[in-house]
Amino acid sequence: MIQVKELIVTDLSRKGTGKDVTSPIRTVLEVYTKNGELLAYHDSQGNYSVEDLISFSKFCLSNKELSIDEALKKWKAN
């Protein structure tokens, strides 16, 4: 399938606290339809940032009874 669509591409979103090297402030590239539906998202540190990895680690430590697969299904990224 090939489709041609008008899109909104923005780098106005920011991520990171800037407090230390594990959370640098950076722009996030986002691609939306003209109706505002998010189609794509790119964080320069990967779509799972250091903050997300720390959050997931804390979630796993608090929910040791869950397998990794179960934890991934229940955990919500920031």
Per-chain mean pLDDT for the chain: 86
The pLDDT, as a whole number, for residue 47 is 65
Cα–Cα distances (Å) from 59 to 13, 23, 45, 47, 70, in that order, read 25, 18, 21, 18, 11
The answer to whether the CB of 39 falls within 8 A of the CB of 61 is: no
- Which tens digit of pLDDT belongs to each residue from 18-43? 887 777 888 889 999 999 999 998 88
| Residue 63, token pair as written in the block | 């929910």
| Residue 33, token pair as written in the block | 């339809």
The model scores a pTM over 0.85: no
| Residue 42, token pair as written in the block | 């790119």
Find the mean pLDDT for residues 38-55: 80
